[in-house]
Amino acid sequence: MEPVVTHRVHIGDVIRNAIVFNFGSSLGGAVMTDNLLQTVSRLFALLDERQIEYLLVGGIALLQYVEGRNTQDIDLIVAVSSVEKLPEIQIVEQNEDFARGQFGELQIDLLLTRNPLFDKVKRGYATTHQFVEQAIPCATVEGLLLLKLYALPSLYRQGSFARVGIYENDVATLIQLYRPRLDPLFAELSKHLSATDLQAVREIVAEVEQRIARFQQKSDESK
């Protein structure tokens, strides 16, 4: 199924609006709108100029499939070797699977391909979408679901209630709109999660499907 978003997503506008309307953000009053828009365009131009292989994921990628998602940063899957080719991105945090960087006033979260699932999503769950800025390699619905479901058990262990809610809502929305085949996703996740975590993911998805069924029933009854 093709994406339901009928307009081109303007990445700079999305991030600017998220920062401006996040009253708790220290950046809200400091970020110059024009500078931020230029920074976003410059980032993707730089990725092309350096011939960096990357995949856009996270909230911006999700906006190609659902409307109304709010995000203040850009999420990319890249190789560690690619990060080394981008000294303009100042890395402020890094571990085995993730890095967080600053490109001017723009926050960039990097998912590193030495994690086998991230590498699989980059290679096998990619398409290209046209944004206002340019055409950008972007995760498919299935790729985004893999990343969200993979992250959920860890978020539960961290007690990150707010992020769990956001991720589960993203999962529910994608499943409700696109009805992807879930068994192949569970098969892929089985290579990267423990049996306990995989069972937890299956239970989360079962609850999501029950919510969707209740929603559909109520929607039908109201017609």
Judgement on whether residues 100 and 11 belong to the same structural domain of the protein:
yes
The pLDDT confidence band at residue 202, using thresholds 50, 70 and 90, is: very high
Q: Provide the pLDDT for residue 23.
A: 47
Q: How far apart are CA 133 and CA 112, in angstroms?
A: 24
Chain-centroid distance of CA 131 in Å reads 15
Number of Cβ within a 10 Å radius of residue 148: 22
Judgement on whether residues 8 and 118 belong to the same structural domain of the protein:
yes
Mean residue pLDDT across the chain = 89
Judgement on whether residues 54 and 121 belong to the same structural domain of the protein:
yes
Q: Provide the pLDDT for residue 3.
A: 57
Whether the per-residue pLDDT at 129 is higher than 70: the answer is: yes
Judgement on whether residues 151 and 58 belong to the same structural domain of the protein:
no
Decide if 117 contacts 125 (C-beta within 8 A). no
Judgement on whether residues 128 and 175 belong to the same structural domain of the protein:
no
Tokens representing 177 are: 């709109």
Chain-centroid distance of CA 169 in Å reads 13
Domain hosting 53: range is 1-139
Judgement on whether residues 161 and 221 belong to the same structural domain of the protein:
yes
Instruction: Give tens-digit pLDDT for 100-126.
Output: 999 988 999 999 999 999 999 999 999
